[in-house]
Amino acid sequence: MRYRKQSRLERIAKRVLLLPLLISAGCGTINRTYGKMVPRGNNIVAPANFDLYQRLTKANRALIRFPDAEQINQAVGTDIVKSVDKYLIPGARYLLIHARQAHFAEDLPPEKLKKVREVQTEIYLLSEYLTKSKDVKLRKAHDEGITSKAWADILTRFFRILNDMDKYHVDKLKEDIRDIEYQLAINQEDRLEELLEEKRRKLKEVQESSNSMIKHGAILKLGAEKKLKVLPAEKERYGKHKKELSIREKIYEIELREDAFLEIASKQRRSIVYVVFGGSHAWGGKESCGKDYDLSGRLSIKDNLAVRNRKNPRNKSSLIELTLTSYDEYKEQIKDIKKALDYKE
């Protein structure tokens, strides 16, 4: 059959007919091509008509392969992850993985400080596991509060010095203890017994001091140990001093910070982008993550992911949220805040 060149009228008609399909394919999480976001099994929420077994982007293959909570807990040897929730966006170039943290603040009461340590310890174990996972191979992590690569490098070097000093003291004290125990095996002297107890006490103090560094952030500790490269998660601090902000201003600042990180994430070369950020933040929402997406423990109101995916169809992101076992949602407190703002989901 001979090729017949299409007339100008035919070309225009074809474009008009295809326009709704092209718009829907690039508009993010809810579109006419694939339908609304619904649960699809294996903790995956994806568009109703999207074929999960077709040829997928690298980011979405990583989302599907990402281990569930049971697999992580079994590999680590203790229950550190409460849930792994996956939200697949067709055509996503990036996979944003959000580990929901509780973080250190000045003047925390002892019980809350203990909770922070527990959550940060779980994030440490989780992140360390992800560096070893063949399906993830985590190499870099974005850390909340860090606003530049230079600042990330400075903090990493500082904590590395502290970590190396602690390691040196621990190794030296352990060597001294072994020597004293050897001497005691030959000659039982009270002087040696007293010296042994003193060395053991000092070893415990140094180890407790080293472990307390976890409250300042699991990612910085991993960076100090050269297990992860620490990267910024923010561009700048917005608004006035936090104590001077109204509730509405604080929520607006939260949304600005979330938008800023999505911009940072979109400039990364690797498809997997891992960030440790406060658990009251939410990059997703009812549109990007489905009608069952739970916002009751989140101060964030804006569906940042849906907005950005619509504006940047070539740089869309899927999302995984990791909730740690020790993390508290503070749902009642957040409910009261939203009620004061007359906010309705």
Which residue has better confidence, 237 or 162? 162
- Do 317 and 288 fall into the same domain? yes
Residue 23 amino acid letter: I
310 belongs to a structural domain: yes
- Do 191 and 99 fall into the same domain? no
9 belongs to a structural domain: no
- Do 334 and 241 fall into the same domain? yes
- By mean pLDDT, which of 102-111, 206-215, 333-342 is the weakest? 206-215
Residue 67 amino acid letter: P
Residue closest to 30 by CA, chosen among 316, 277, 256: 316
Kindly provide the residue ranges of all beta strands, DSSP E only, lying in 144-223, ordered along the sequence.
none
Is pLDDT of 274 > 90? Answer: yes
Cβ atoms < 10 Å from Cβ of 181: 12
Which residue has better confidence, 173 or 88? 88
| pLDDT per position as a tens digit, 315-331 | 999 999 999 999 998 88
User: Are residues 46 and 54 in contact, defined by beta-carbon separation less than 8 angstroms?
Assistant: no
Which residue, of 164, 189, 216, is where some domain finishes? 216
Cα R_g (the chain), whole angstroms = 25
pLDDT band at residue 238 under the 50/70/90 scheme:
low
pLDDT band at residue 17 under the 50/70/90 scheme:
very low
Is pLDDT of 241 > 90? Answer: no
- Do 130 and 279 fall into the same domain? yes
Is pLDDT of 24 > 50? Answer: no
User: Are residues 137 and 131 in contact, defined by beta-carbon separation less than 8 angstroms?
Assistant: yes
| pLDDT per position as a tens digit, 69-79 | 999 999 999 99
- Do 46 and 128 fall into the same domain? yes
21 belongs to a structural domain: no
Is pLDDT of 15 > 70? Answer: no
- Do 115 and 49 fall into the same domain? yes
Cβ atoms < 10 Å from Cβ of 51: 11
User: Are residues 98 and 83 in contact, defined by beta-carbon separation less than 8 angstroms?
Assistant: no
- Do 250 and 336 fall into the same domain? yes
3-state secondary structure of 232: strand
The fraction of the chain above a pLDDT of 90, given in percent, is 56
- What's the rounded mean pLDDT across residues 215-238? 89
170 belongs to a structural domain: yes
d(CA 280, CA 282): 7
246 belongs to a structural domain: yes
Question: The domain containing residue 134 runs over which residues?
Answer: 36-145+233-340
Give me the pLDDT at residue 339, please. Answer: 76
Is pLDDT of 30 > 80? Answer: no
d(CA 339, CA 60): 37
pLDDT band at residue 344 under the 50/70/90 scheme:
low
φ/ψ (deg, to 5) at 334: -70, -35
47 belongs to a structural domain: yes
Helix axes 304-311, 247-265, angle to 10 degrees: 40
2 belongs to a structural domain: no
Give me the pLDDT at residue 8, please. Answer: 59
| pLDDT per position as a tens digit, 134-177 | 999 999 999 999 999 999 999 999 888 887 888 888 899 899 89
Give me the pLDDT at residue 21, please. Answer: 40
pLDDT band at residue 33 under the 50/70/90 scheme:
low
222 belongs to a structural domain: no
- What's the rounded mean pLDDT across residues 185-193? 85
Overall domain count for the chain:
2
- Do 130 and 238 fall into the same domain? yes
Bridge partners of 229, per DSSP, are 140
Is pLDDT of 2 > 60? Answer: no
d(CA 95, CA 271): 6
- Do 140 and 161 fall into the same domain? no
- Do 128 and 162 fall into the same domain? no
- Do 75 and 112 fall into the same domain? yes
Q: Is the dihedral of CA 212, 215, 218, 220 positive or negative?
A: negative
Which residue has better confidence, 269 or 107? 269
Residue 65 amino acid letter: R
- Do 239 and 290 fall into the same domain? yes
Give me the pLDDT at residue 154, please. Answer: 93
Residue closest to 254 by CA, chosen among 225, 228, 283: 283
Give me the pLDDT at residue 318, please. Answer: 98
Give me the pLDDT at residue 242, please. Answer: 57
